[in-house]
Amino acid sequence: MPSFKLSARFPTPIADMILPQSERLNRPLAERFLAWERDEPERSSIPTQVPKHAVYESDFSLFSRDDPTVRELARLCLERLGELIMHLNHYSVAEMRSLRIFHHSWYHVTRRGGYTSVHNHPMACWSGVYCVTPGETPSGTTDNGALCFLDPRPNPATYTDPGNAYLQEGFAAGNLAWQLVPGQLLLFPSWLLHEVRPFWGRDERITVAFNAWVRPAGASVDEPGVLLRHPAAEQA
């Protein structure tokens, strides 16, 4: 037994789970998203300026669509986020009931050669990514369409030798790449830098993403971070 107390003082929480009922939801979700991509009416918001290639990004009000399958996914995602917030902040049931979770939500359709560059999500406390389908993984590819989180510490690998080369999980340096599977939901702090590595499948990689911020019940929505379109102003 070691003669010292070991503590992790700068951890980054990432919650990983498979949503119940995901097998039933994913097929209709994929069908709806592809149909909406083809027949989308005039956009209500402008895609983000995050550099991306061969990626379709929807409007940012996905969870508010009048569609029962989307609404069920929204309920499942936000319930899990509420559980995480309650657990990590040691909130009581009463305290949690006094809070409201607001959100932006959208879907991505990534095709062959597509990727999303490194970014984070300012003006939110938590972000989530749900996998509808990871798409095809051709043989010989590495990190195909992987969701990669960048180590937030500035210089953890400045010097490496046998004294720190094999540190246990939670202390080791390096980025984390997640090969998502259908029905998988990841929740992570919105400040955490991440990217989507190039996807080389011949079909589509389809994911849902959302950013959330929390306010006391009755407070203003205080909506941050989305550039809305104002057609009348554009025509002036």
Report how far apart the first and last C-alpha atoms of the chain are (Å, whole number): 74
Q: pLDDT digits over 58-78, tens only?
A: 999 999 999 999 999 999 999
Q: What is the DSSP string of 112-150?
A: EEEEEEEE--TT-SEEEEEEEE-----TT-SSTT-EEEP
Assess if residue 136 is contained within a domain.
yes
Assess if residue 9 is contained within a domain.
no
Assess if residue 151 is contained within a domain.
yes
Assess if residue 227 is contained within a domain.
no
Number of structural domains the chain divides into: 1
Q: pLDDT digits over 1-40, tens only?
A: 789 999 888 999 999 999 999 999 999 999 999 999 999 7
CA 203, distance to chain mean position in Å, is: 21
Question: What residue numbers bound the domain in which 206 lies?
Answer: 15-40+49-155+171-216
Assess if residue 210 is contained within a domain.
yes
Assess if residue 233 is contained within a domain.
no
Assess if residue 162 is contained within a domain.
no
Contact in structure between 108 and 207 (CB atoms under 8 Å): yes
- Check which CATH number belongs to the domain holding 55 and give it: 2.60.120.620
pTM: 0.91
Assess if residue 226 is contained within a domain.
no
